[in-house]
Amino acid sequence: MSDQSISQVASEMDFGLSSVMVDGKEINTKTASIDEYYLPTLQMSLNEGRNFSKSYGTDSTSSVIVNQTFVDAAGWESPIGKQIKIPDEKKLMTVTGVVKDYHFGSLREKIAPEILTMGNVEYILIKMTKGKIPQALSVVEKTYRKIIPDHYYQFNFLDNENASVYQNDKRCSRL
């Protein structure tokens, strides 16, 4: 999309929880698939290594980005180039980046180890230009209906979803 009301577009798909093997040790982890625009769109910074890129042909087949909590759980001091075995796929993945820990759930939950792969996506994340949200929504809907005319169109604002999580937390804490 090339419209001034949209500053960045990224995509992701959450796979939930799984376990991987690192040096013979099992680590329970959250896994998600992202594209190369995900980290910059969400302003997530890397502690070390690099982001995914289509310039590296192996990124979509054998590279992973892990969070700092994963590095700590694995007991690594130098994670770049380390191997992770994903049992379901029966293959080894190589760590190319370490993202700074971030909350992907409630702030009250402990940050879990996480693996990000580059590949299949389900959700589109769109960063809209401040003051141009109605225009951006119109552009997104028109584009969506042009590409997938017979499919249900739905959008959510990430900040509203986050606020609802904390509203639920507040309600539960009062009970």
Tens digits of residue pLDDT in 10-43: 778 887 888 999 998 999 999 999 999 999 998 9
Return the number of other C-beta atoms located less than 10 Å from residue 18's C-beta: 14
pLDDT at 171: 61
As beta bridge partners, residue 151 has none
Extended beta strands in the chain, E state: 6-22, 25-34, 46-49, 63-67, 83-86, 91-99, 114-118, 123-128
Yes or no: say if 42 and 125 are a contact pair by the CB < 8 Å rule. yes
Closest by Cα among 140, 122, 113 to 30: 113
Give the domain ranges of the chain.
Answer: 8-123, 129-174
Look at 23-32, 103-112, 146-155 and tell me which has the smallest mean pLDDT: 103-112
Residue 65's pLDDT is: 97
pLDDT digits (tens, 9 = 90+) for 62-99: 999 999 999 999 999 999 999 999 877 778 999 999 99
| CA 105 – CA 128 distance, rounded (Å) | 23
Share of the chain above pLDDT 70, in %: 87
